[in-house]
Structure 1
Amino acid sequence: MRREDELPFGTTVRESIRSENGDSPFANLFFLVGLLCLSLQFVSIGGAQPGQLWALAALTLFFAKNSIPVLGREILVYGLFLSTAVWLTLYSGYAHVKAPQQVMKFAVVYPAFFLVGRHLGRYYLKHKLPIGYPMIVLFFVFEIAVQKFEAPVIYKYVYFSIDAIHGSFLERNWFALFFFAVSYMVFLQSKRKPVDAVLFLAINVANALVSESKSVLIPCGIVVLLQVRGHTGIKMLLVAAGSAFYVWRFAPELSGHMLDERIKDERGLAFVISTGIAARDWLGHGFGFVEAYFSGTGIYVMGLGKGVNSIFLTPLDFFLIAGIPGILVWLIFFCGFGFGWVATASVIPIAAWSFTNPMHQSELTYLLLGYLISYSRGTGLDASAPVERMGNSTTRRQNRLLTTGISS
């Protein structure tokens, strides 16, 4: 691992740029294998998912190549969060459920995915992604077929939202996150014109329809507003069309009895109880507290309890885990705080999505966040300008780096 303002020993900036501009079929194959492994969430190899094993293998490889960019503040803030959370888990006096599993995820698995994402974002800033919308559509159809034909090994029946498509993923929200993530990566490499935005939205409208994930349309709208330069009227029209679709498709679930149920028995009640807990002890409660508390309390909260290790609101859950250090982790990694406005514009759709779903409990979230931070930092000052990545040409930022001697 190395800082972003350093180069491997004995390597000049010009040599670094030239070496990273070369095509690497192995790198593309490794990336595609990783995406496939990430989708096989019902498969277990020695107690670990294929995606987790892929990330650890990738991290080992990138460490050996000394090719993972990282900033000191990332290490400092996450180290503070992790040490605080572990200390609270051991000594706070609260009950905890499955704390060792949560510690393992936050200490090893999630950081591994984030660091792998940091490398991939930097790499694909200068190289063409090996996927496009046609491949995404094909895999989308494949995932639907996996569920329709109940493919052995890679598919299992899920009792929650039985009409929704989740394919080889553990649940519909991770299905929706996967296709949002890969389509977002492809969109960022496009010219980000209105036609590119239409293609991106088309993929994710279909994503929302089959997965029944209402919240996936929120980050999509933010991506269109922030990443398409100019064309204000067209952007507003696209967002309005998306909003109309949202109301048409999901209005019955957000009105009348169903809305009242969500407020009184599900998310509204969970929010009231959780904010009360946080107010009573703002120092934090450690890993595994949420499941222990809601499975042991006499108050029934729909969607929480045994087997559920977090509430739906990511920043509040981070606060319940480790207090202020938890909020700092959310601000830096989910909001891009301190990375510049370009990085913030890239990751803020995920931050917005995290207000409605426990995004911090998915490995893919950390992979995407790492990718977006590295990719956006490399694009320089213009968040909407596509970067030339093929051949021997260098980007505007790289040309500037040749004269300053600073690595991106």
Structure 2
Amino acid sequence: MKKSHLFRVIVTVGIVLSIVYSLVGSAQTPVSRVQLSTNPPIEKILPFEAEAAKPQSPVTITLQAVDASGNPLKNSLINLDILTPRSNFWLTTDFPIVEGTKLLQMSANAPDGKLEIQQILPIRGKYQLKVNVSPLVANAFTPYEQILNIDVPENSIKYKYFAVVAAILLSMGLLGGWVIGGQEELRQGEIAPQSVRLLLSALTVVAIFTLLFINISAEVAEAHSGHSSNQEAIIAPSTQQAQGLEIRLDGDKNATVGKLANFAVQVKDTQTGQPIKDVALQVQAIALEHDLTIFTYKGITNQAGQLTWQEQFFDGSLHKIEVAVNPLPGSNQQVTPLKAAQKVEVTGIAPPMYTRIISLFYFTALVGIGMAIGLFIQHRQNPKLRAN
């Protein structure tokens, strides 16, 4: 019995070791993958800043599909989904509606296994890039999927602004606590001491000026939005023809922040009606209010002479989608440069009520902390209060 038991133990240990060895071996076996590179480097990427003093440029995102040996996977079809960072209930971003949504979805032919886009990343946090690579030629390689991450830190200027606001609120609370803590006795007919009344009056004036500032800012933003509509005259037609070539841009003319808008480009021969494949395209999405390019893609049409994609506009203002057709470098195909465009009216959505309530809670808490400190200081300095 002892020999039999020892034999079973040896066999069991051998099976376990073989399984572990196979798992470790398979984990170390080179596999096809997607290489991610950005410009600027990932550690230097900053989120979009409204009304920035310096012109902002989109981030260049390059995805290179390679095989197990590190060689480019040519003639690939790359599907890309960009997901925005998840929402944080207690720490919202500048665009709460954008949190936890899809920023871009596109499918593009990649003759050299490379997909390159330029995209403004509107908020801080961890973006997920879901990449699916499949062969354009059947059975050329095994399709695979990979998830990549881009972690965007908050702009340091936001911390400076917060420090200034926090210092002001704490100072107001400190002053209020110090005044209230040292209040004199009430006179006949007074509801509150004179110092307290003066403090409340000052706070009322500050609140009025704050409301005026918010209203004036809203009016200025609306005026800018109305001014942007004057840009309609410079937008090219959505269909253009020249020398037997036609380019047609179709898509949503109305979009909403937080939701994807659909777009498609069709290039064909006007004489035969047949699609023209492998034509160089350059796609741009431009926010007209600030003449800000938020998305760019340079690539080629597919076998059906098309390019389709979905993108989200994070800013509620007038945008322009522009597509240019150019001859493919090194190609014998005669292509006349053409450009088509269309406007997109983007509807903004006000931040949820809970985000404003949370902000109000933080501001009130800072004032309360300052007031508590003021009361404590006054209590330590006033012997009468300590005696009571």
Higher helix proportion (structure 1 or 2): 1
TM-score by shorter chain over 0.5: no
The structure whose Rg is larger is: 2
Structure 2 length-normalised TM: 0.24
Structure scoring higher RCO (CA < 8 A, sep ≥ 6) equals 1
